[in-house]
Amino acid sequence: MLDLLVIGAGLAGLSAAVAAAKAGLNVRVIAKGQGVTHWHAGTLDVLGYLPLTDAPIQAPLAASQTLPPEHPYRLLGETRLRDALAMFSDWLAASKLAYPSSATPDQNLWLPSAVGAVRPTFLAPQAQLAGDVSRPEPMLIVGFHGLRDFYPQWIVENLTKQGYLARAAFLPLNMINELLERNNVQLAEQLEPPSARGRLAAALKKLCQPGERIGLPAILGVNEHLAVWQDLQTEVDAPIFEIPTLPPSVPGIRLYRALQQQLMAAGGRIEMNMEALAFKAEGQQIQWVETATSARPLKHYAKNFLLATGGVLGGGFNSDHTGRFWETIFDLPLTVPQDRNAWFRHQFLHPQGQPVFSGGVLVNDHFQPVEQNGTPVYNNLWAVGGVLAHADPIRERSLEGIAIATGISATQGMIAQTHAGV
Amino acid sequence: MKNLNTEILVIGGGSTGTGVAWDAALRGFQVTLVEKRDLTHGTTGRYHGLLHSGGRYVVKDPRSAVECIHENQILRHTHTQCIEETSGFFVVTPEDEGDFPDKFKAACAACRVPCTEISAQEALRHEPLLNPRISRVFEVPDASADSFLATHLTAQAARQAGAQILVYHEVLDLITEGTEQDRRVLGAKVRDVATGEEFNIYANMTISAAGAWAGQVARMAGCTVNIIPGKGVMVAMNHRVVNTVINRCKMPSDGDIIVPIHTVAVIGTTDERVSDPEKLRIEPWEVQLMLDEGDKLLPGLSKARVLRAWAGVRPLYQEGFKGESRDATRALTLLDHQSRDGIAGFLTITGGKWTTFRLMAETVVDKACEQLGTRKPCATETTPVPGIEQGHYWLGHRLHEVEENRLQGELICECELVTRGMLEQATQRNPTITLDDLRRDIRLGMGPCQGGFCTMRAAGILHENVTLGMQNMKASPDAELVNRKSQIVNPEWDVAYMQSPAHNATADEVAPSAQHSALSTPNLLLRDFLQERWKGLTPVLWGQQLKQARLDELIYLSILNSDHLPDADTISPLTDFYHFDGGTSREAESDHA
């Protein structure tokens, strides 16, 4: 019998599963697909802008406690949030994918985006750090002719408008790629052989002037990333940073693989292509969750269940033309209005976001889904990450922070509450 | 102030206006056309894409039916590559009772609309998703038509015949002389929307082809034309659920037609009189009605993924008409303001259908000839537009060319298979002020992701081409440092092969154009196009399409942080174009509070 069945293999589900496995629980992750991790920027955003005012945030941990009391960060409290992020970055370091913390413990980093906006994040992979706009060195942003997701002159024009020193340059794409397709993941794989790295390093060396740092699209290797990035820096003799591109995301895939490795090493398992279709509860106790597989439906029995299916994007919710909006597995109580008229604003980039995306599953401060009156819906069910109500993680730039911290904290709470594993 | 002199001034860049310019130019007139936005920005670019056989109107509006079948046969030869030979079914569902089907059959014969009754079984073999309970099916020569491409090609043919086409030129006023009783229109005062420059265009004859806006133009001449603006809501499904145009065999009503066009299928339409052709809010009940009615033709349709909803305004006109817009005639109307209002030098052509635009042009230019005292015969019936040798459109056309020419790496819009070359050619050869212009040119951003991926790429490419001459890139394919402004090159307008990935495979002979670059910074291009797409999404966002919208948020907020770009709050003179339809939610009011 499993101690814990985690549903969803995004950052929330994997964080929970790794925490559980490292605590000695028998844990399995089932997922329909790979979650949003393969699409996002690969950074760990905790809180970038305040939800109502859109004010930029410098100290996200402190600011997290100024949010409304129902927000997942307020349910966590600053200490649980801080501890979970620290634990998570330790795991990544152990997988040789370092996300170094800044010298000041509660400080957002501001990094250039692929259109030259400056994006706030809390922890960034080592290979993105040199993009920190507070550093003095001028930036050389290098693109490749014909690469459809990266336009260095646009980045430079916007950085310049904001007062940062930057210039643009191009290299031919066939230096790294002869394929018909020009997918970022394929390009990253093409850069892995040492000969390809060498060609790129030589070209960059010619372009780069002393004292500059070099920004490139985030395609510096997938599995061999660390070697590719380090070799380039050494040979060019300049700081090199990656700028995340449109999905699919190479930094996101690296992050997923590092977590997968941590989970395997701790004895956990991930099973993909398993969409949860049904469940059975007796009283307040969930007995099993059933998934579709090619041959037959499969029942997953477990002592505890953790819902980490994500928000609208991850697949945690579905909706229809009548205005019905529901949680896809347990049909849990939601805060979302059952009226399409109340879901949207007329402006796409409205600073307060689209109301439909801040709705979700109501939980108590143990992250157990609750009814409107506060009583848990099931005794052995927890919900974490994008399914949670009272946050719009993409709008606030809190996507990874909420996923990781609620995933880890809920699991720790569950272990303490049920004494399941230890 | 620069002034222009011309023989015929055409107001309106939709199908009718470009048709008039084409017709008049072929007859040897000197012609200038002005359009306040982009070609097809009005009703032409907002219809469902049906080339009418006339079947829809044989019972209710036979004059319009006769016009439709006449033009249907001509346009297949003059605008071949804009038309897909889908054929059309009129199906009798269990709700369509009574003697209408027999009346329909007789009326088709009377109007000479070819009509063959086929068995329901055979129809279901062609269209397996059709309601299996249909009892009778009539096949008619309906087809689907790309009104964007057709209008561009008509404009291209007009230019080749010497016409001057000025887009983003707004008519501020008509220039008139004379007294109340004896007035003459001498031309128009116009404003170049991009530069703000104002000038006069003097003409011997001014023809208003302004569609739903014709009342406003007539007012400038000092007369009243009461257009009946009939709003029609259309809903595009993400899949091409049928390959044949499907009509309910009953009196024309709401949601009784499904048109397969390009990769989607469009359900249409409602018909509601509105007060202003620019206030096109789509109400949830209208979308619901389309889906409910669609279910009667294709059971389960309302559960399928919906791509987008939009509304257009029919420029209906019927002298002295007071009823519902659904009951107003679809036949064309020529208003001779000299005999009607005592205003010389001014004609209005309105009513009609997209299908009858050529006939509308012929009718009004005949009248212009008469009033100008010349006899020049119409030539459009036998003169094809450029590029018809490509043959009829077929669904796999772009994919075939992309695969044959190994252009996969060039795709910047994977949904609609738009290559970088197509984008660059369209930019160079058509005046491009917004990314929405490119949508109308090459279908950029019209697919399932509604601009999620291609908006960033298109804005980046336009900026790159303006900043760095492509010729420079070609001259030194190695690393190129950027600090040069490219030369402004007068673009050659050539749209015959605009839709062809293969034809645009080598785009590097075209020099980059910096026109209007001051107006269109990439940041504004991006913001405005995302907003334009959002406007048509909100009425239909649920299920998979809601998920898609959230992915677009992940891209534009989280990854790109494009809501915090410099100039984000800048208002461009074009920004309001994307807000004129108003919101679809109650937020519209409270956001201003």
Question: Residue B204: beta bridge partners?
Answer: none
Q: What is the pLDDT of residue B428?
A: 78
Say if residue B253's pLDDT is above 50.
Answer: yes
Interface of B with A in 299-318 (CB under 8 A): 302-303, 306
Say if residue B431's pLDDT is above 80.
Answer: no
Q: Which two tokens stand for residue B65?
A: 């039916």
Asked, for residue A100, whether it belongs to a domain, the answer is no
Say if residue B287's pLDDT is above 80.
Answer: yes
For residue A393, the chain B residue with the least C-alpha distance is: B558
Contact yes or no for B90/B138 (Cβ under 8 A): yes
Collect all residues with Cβ–Cβ distance below 8 Å to B331 and sequence separation of at least 6. B61, B63, B64, B67, B351, B352
Rounded CA-CA distance A382/B363 in Å is: 72
Give yes or no for A178 touching B (CB within 8 A): no
Same domain, A87 and A42: yes
Q: Which residue has the tokens 């402006």?
A: A347
Same domain, A138 and A278: no
- Residue of B452, B556, B562 whose CA lies nearest to A40: B556
Question: Which of the four pLDDT bands, split at 50, 70 and 90, describes residue A418?
Answer: confident
Q: Which residue has the tokens 């075939």?
A: B400
Asked, for residue B174, whether it belongs to a domain, the answer is yes
Same domain, B160 and B179: yes
Same domain, B281 and B371: no
Rounded CA-CA distance B368/B338 in Å is: 11
Question: Which of the four pLDDT bands, split at 50, 70 and 90, describes residue B429?
Answer: confident
Contact yes or no for A108/A136 (Cβ under 8 A): no
Say if residue B301's pLDDT is above 90.
Answer: yes
* Residue A130: φ, ψ to 5°: -70, -5
Chain A residues touching B453 at Cβ < 8 A = 246
ipTM over 0.95 threshold: yes
Give the model confidence (pLDDT) of A385-394 as tens digits.
999 999 999 9
Give chain A's domain count: 2
Asked, for residue B54, whether it belongs to a domain, the answer is no
Same domain, B407 and B483: yes
- Residue of B333, B192, B342, B213 whose CA lies nearest to B278: B213
Share of chain A above pLDDT 90, in %: 89
DSSP state letter for B296: H
For chain A, the farthest-separated pair of C-alpha atoms sits apart, in whole angstroms, at 70
**H/E run at residue A112:** strand A109-112
Chain A residues touching B482 at Cβ < 8 A = 152-153, 156, 167-170
Same domain, A289 and A379: yes
Question: Can you give the residue range of the structural domain that contains B584?
Answer: 398-592
Q: Which two tokens stand for residue A262?
A: 């941590």
Asked, for residue B321, whether it belongs to a domain, the answer is no
- Among A246, A280, A300, the domain boundary falls at A246
Distances in Å between the alpha carbon of B128 and those of A99, B88, B160, B258? 55, 15, 45, 14
Give the model confidence (pLDDT) of A130-152 as tens digits.
999 999 999 999 999 989 999 99
Say if residue B487's pLDDT is above 50.
Answer: no
Distances in Å between the alpha carbon of B250 and those of B97, B126, B129? 8, 21, 20
Give the model confidence (pLDDT) of B520-577 as tens digits.
689 999 999 999 899 889 999 999 999 999 999 999 999 999 999 998 777 765 665 5
Asked, for residue B56, whether it belongs to a domain, the answer is no
Same domain, A267 and A413: yes
Peptide bond into A355 cis (omega under 30): no
Same domain, A64 and A133: no
- For residue B132, the distance in angstroms to the closest alpha carbon of chain A comes to 24
Rounded CA-CA distance B485/B471 in Å is: 12
The answer to whether the Cβ–Cβ distance between A246 and B456 falls below 8 Å is: yes
Give the model confidence (pLDDT) of B40-89 as tens digits.
999 999 999 999 999 999 999 999 999 999 999 999 999 999 999 999 99
Higher pLDDT among residues B97 and A401, named by residue: A401
Same domain, A204 and A269: no
Rounded CA-CA distance B114/B389 in Å is: 26
Same domain, A168 and A288: no
Same domain, A289 and A235: no
User: Residue A222 is part of a domain; what is its CATH number?
Assistant: 3.40.50
Same domain, A218 and A174: yes
The answer to whether the Cβ–Cβ distance between B551 and A118 falls below 8 Å is: no
Q: What is the pLDDT of residue B283?
A: 86
Mean pLDDT of A238-255: 97
Give the model confidence (pLDDT) of A86-117 as tens digits.
999 999 999 999 999 877 789 999 999 999 99
- Among A230, A246, A262, the domain boundary falls at A246
- Written as one letter, the residue type at A61 is L
Asked, for residue B121, whether it belongs to a domain, the answer is yes
Same domain, B296 and B162: no
Same domain, B402 and B464: yes
Same domain, B238 and B274: yes
Same domain, B403 and B495: yes
User: Residue B266 is part of a domain; what is its CATH number?
Assistant: 3.30.9.10
Same domain, A272 and A406: yes
Q: What is the pLDDT of residue A49?
A: 97
Same domain, B154 and B137: no
For residue B283, the chain A residue with the least C-alpha distance is: A341
Question: Can you give the residue range of the structural domain that contains A85?
Answer: 2-95+254-418
Same domain, A181 and A55: no
Asked, for residue A291, whether it belongs to a domain, the answer is yes
Question: Residue B261: beta bridge partners?
Answer: B264
* Residue B473: φ, ψ to 5°: -60, -40
- Among A205, A228, A246, the domain boundary falls at A246
Contact yes or no for B151/B40 (Cβ under 8 A): yes
Q: What is the pLDDT of residue B506?
A: 61
Distances in Å between the alpha carbon of A371 and those of A13, A297, A364, B227? 23, 30, 10, 56
Give the model confidence (pLDDT) of B147-202 as tens digits.
999 999 999 999 999 999 999 999 999 999 998 888 999 999 999 988 889 999 99
Rounded CA-CA distance B66/B112 in Å is: 7
Q: Which residue has the tokens 């063959």?
A: B116
Share of chain A above pLDDT 70, in %: 99
Asked, for residue A102, whether it belongs to a domain, the answer is no
Same domain, B446 and B561: yes
Asked, for residue A171, whether it belongs to a domain, the answer is yes
- Residue of B526, B517, B463 whose CA lies nearest to A143: B463
User: Residue A85 is part of a domain; what is its CATH number?
Assistant: 3.50.50.60
Distances in Å between the alpha carbon of B408 and those of A149, A348, B417, B497? 14, 30, 9, 19
Asked, for residue A289, whether it belongs to a domain, the answer is yes
Kindly calculate the radius of gyration of chain A based on its CA atoms and give it in whole angstroms.
22
Asked, for residue A103, whether it belongs to a domain, the answer is no
Rounded CA-CA distance A231/A237 in Å is: 9
Mean pLDDT of B281-290: 90
DSSP state letter for A129: G
Same domain, B535 and B579: yes
Contact yes or no for B455/B438 (Cβ under 8 A): no
Q: What is the pLDDT of residue B583?
A: 39
Q: Which two tokens stand for residue A116?
A: 């030259």
The answer to whether the Cβ–Cβ distance between A117 and B560 falls below 8 Å is: yes
Question: Which of the four pLDDT bands, split at 50, 70 and 90, describes residue B504?
Answer: confident
Peptide bond into B269 cis (omega under 30): yes
Asked, for residue A272, whether it belongs to a domain, the answer is yes
Rounded CA-CA distance B178/A57 in Å is: 67
For residue A121, the chain B residue with the least C-alpha distance is: B558
The 10 Å Cβ neighbour count of residue A384 is 33
Rounded CA-CA distance A271/B399 in Å is: 35
Chain B residues touching A162 at Cβ < 8 A = 566
Give, in degrees to the nearest 5, the angle at Cα B91 between B85 and B92: 170
DSSP state letter for B187: E
Distances in Å between the alpha carbon of B239 and those of B130, B149, B232, B259, B300? 14, 21, 21, 12, 13
Give yes or no for A227 touching B (CB within 8 A): no
Same domain, B240 and B221: no
Cβ burial, residue A251 (10 Å; 0-12/13-18/19+): buried
**H/E run at residue A89:** helix A78-94
Q: Which 3-state string (H, E, C) describes B227-280? A: CEEEEEEEEEECCCCCCCEEEECCCCCCCCEEEEECCEEEEECCCEECCCCCCC
The answer to whether the Cβ–Cβ distance between B306 and A179 falls below 8 Å is: no
What one-character-per-residue DSSP string does A71-86 give?
Answer: SHHHHH-HHHHHHHHH
Mean pLDDT of A187-215: 95
Give chain B's domain count: 3
Higher pLDDT among residues B340 and B1, named by residue: B340
Rounded CA-CA distance B333/B348 in Å is: 8
Point out the residue among A169, A346, A351 whose CB comes nearest to the CB of B587.
Answer: A346
Q: Which two tokens stand for residue A371?
A: 């009814």
Rounded CA-CA distance B114/A180 in Å is: 48
Interface of B with A in 391-420 (CB under 8 A): 406, 408-412, 420
Asked, for residue B257, whether it belongs to a domain, the answer is yes
Contact yes or no for B461/B424 (Cβ under 8 A): yes
Point out the residue among B420, B542, B565 whose CB comes nearest to the CB of A158.
Answer: B565
- Residue of A315, A313, A385 whose CA lies nearest to B551: A313
Same domain, B238 and B223: no
Same domain, A238 and A113: yes
Asked, for residue B64, whether it belongs to a domain, the answer is no
